[in-house]
């Protein structure tokens, strides 16, 4: 099966893609394009999957770079292949020939570009990273490389949607403690449960960062098991592990 790559017109003509799970070599619960080396999938199979992504992005495998994601606001400026993955959740670069990539399975993969300035970025933004400012920090790092804030385009790829993201009141308390206005990203669920709008919050944070355009591809990872891995769906199903999807962008 060929790879399925979701793209955004707003990021053209730069090479980029939000890769679904279709077209990979993994099997079992990882069936498809599992690119997560942190999973319990066979490492050689994950390497095959990542090499397919590198080929699709027209870069050498070592130039498909990523970080050791820790749900932080930390951003790394990349100038070449990374021998060791730094602990961070976003990357920026102005170097042609590199593809910045992030892994997700419900969290937001966000790709950034100021094509005219020749600066790109990629961020992994779960609720904690988004709340702590990883999206704004990525834009700031791009500006430090020469991007114009109002020229930056940011696209959120497949992520868990509000209809599938049930949380408890203590979760909302974390947001209200930062800003009472964040209550607008929560809808009432069953009993004391609430439904959190992660992509809506991500879009708000991107607009707060001053980007020229922010959008979401409107794909929900939880509700489409044929196309997307989902940590929450795996947890509900009591499966042993889950795959990770990859999103990438290159100059």
pLDDT digits (tens, 9 = 90+) for 210-245: 999 999 999 999 999 999 999 999 999 999 899 999
CATH entry 3.60.140.10 includes domain 5-161+197-250: yes
pLDDT digits (tens, 9 = 90+) for 27-68: 999 999 999 988 999 999 999 999 999 999 999 999 999 999
Torsions phi, psi for 101 (to 5 deg): -135, 150
DSSP 25: S
Q: Tell me the C-alpha distance between 1 and 203, whole Å.
A: 33
The answer for residues whose C-beta is within 8 angstroms of residue 215's C-beta and 6 or more apart is: 8, 10, 154, 155, 156, 203
* Choice between 225 and 1, residue whose per-residue pLDDT is larger: 225
The number of beta carbons lying within 10 Å of the beta carbon of residue 164 is 19
The number of beta carbons lying within 10 Å of the beta carbon of residue 108 is 29
pLDDT digits (tens, 9 = 90+) for 193-207: 999 999 999 999 999
* Sole residue written with tokens 């408890």: 168
Helix extents (H) in the chain: 43-56, 127-132, 134-144, 169-178, 198-208, 231-237
Beta bridge mates, 248: 17, 101
* Exposure class string for 199-224: b at 16+ Cβ within 10 A, else e: bbbbbbbbeebebeebbbeebbbbee
C-alpha separations of 95 from 91, 137, 173 in Å: 12, 19, 41
- Helices 198-208 and 134-144: crossing angle in degrees, nearest 10, is 30
Mean pLDDT on 67-89: 96
C-alpha separations of 214 from 152, 157, 205, 211, 249 in Å: 9, 11, 10, 7, 16
Q: Tell me the C-alpha distance between 19 and 228, whole Å.
A: 9
Q: Tell me the C-alpha distance between 227 and 146, whole Å.
A: 36
pLDDT of residue 157: 98
- pTM tops 0.95: yes
First-to-last CA distance in the chain? 27
Segments of the chain assigned E as strands: 5-6, 15-19, 64-65, 75-77, 90-93, 99-104, 108-114, 119-125, 153-156, 166-167, 186-188, 194-196, 213-216, 245-250
Check pLDDT > 80 for residue 1.
no
């Amino acid at each position: 099966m060929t790879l399925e790559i979701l793209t955004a017109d707003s990021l053209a003509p730069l090479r980029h893609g939000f890769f679904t799970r279709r077209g990979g070599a993994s099997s079992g619960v990882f069936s498809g394009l599992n690119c997560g080396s942190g999973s319990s999938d066979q490492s050689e199979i994950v390497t095959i999957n990542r090499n397919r992504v590198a080929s699709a992005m027209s870069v050498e495998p070592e130039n498909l770079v990523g970080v050791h994601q820790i749900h932080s606001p930390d951003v790394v400026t990349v100038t070449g292949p990374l021998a060791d993955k730094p602990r961070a959740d976003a990357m920026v670069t102005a170097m042609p020939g590199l593809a910045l990539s992030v892994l997700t399975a419900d969290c937001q993969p966000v790709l950034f570009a100021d094509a005219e300035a020749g600066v790109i970025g990629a961020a992994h933004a779960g609720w904690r990273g988004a709340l702590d400012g990883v999206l704004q920090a990525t834009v700031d790092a791009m500006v430090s490389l020469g991007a114009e804030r109002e020229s930056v385009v940011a696209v959120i790829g497949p992520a868990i949607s509000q209809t599938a993201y049930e949380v408890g009141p203590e979760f909302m308390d974390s947001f209200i403690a930062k800003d009472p206005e964040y209550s607008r990203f929560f809808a009432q669920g069953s009993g004391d449960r609430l439904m959190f709008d992660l992509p809506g919050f991500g879009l708000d944070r991107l607009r707060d960062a001053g980007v020229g355009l922010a959008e979401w591809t409107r794909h929900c990872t939880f509700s489409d098991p044929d196309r997307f891995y989902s940590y929450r769906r795996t947890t509900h199903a009591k499966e042993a592990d889950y795959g990770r999807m990859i999103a990438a962008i290159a100059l």
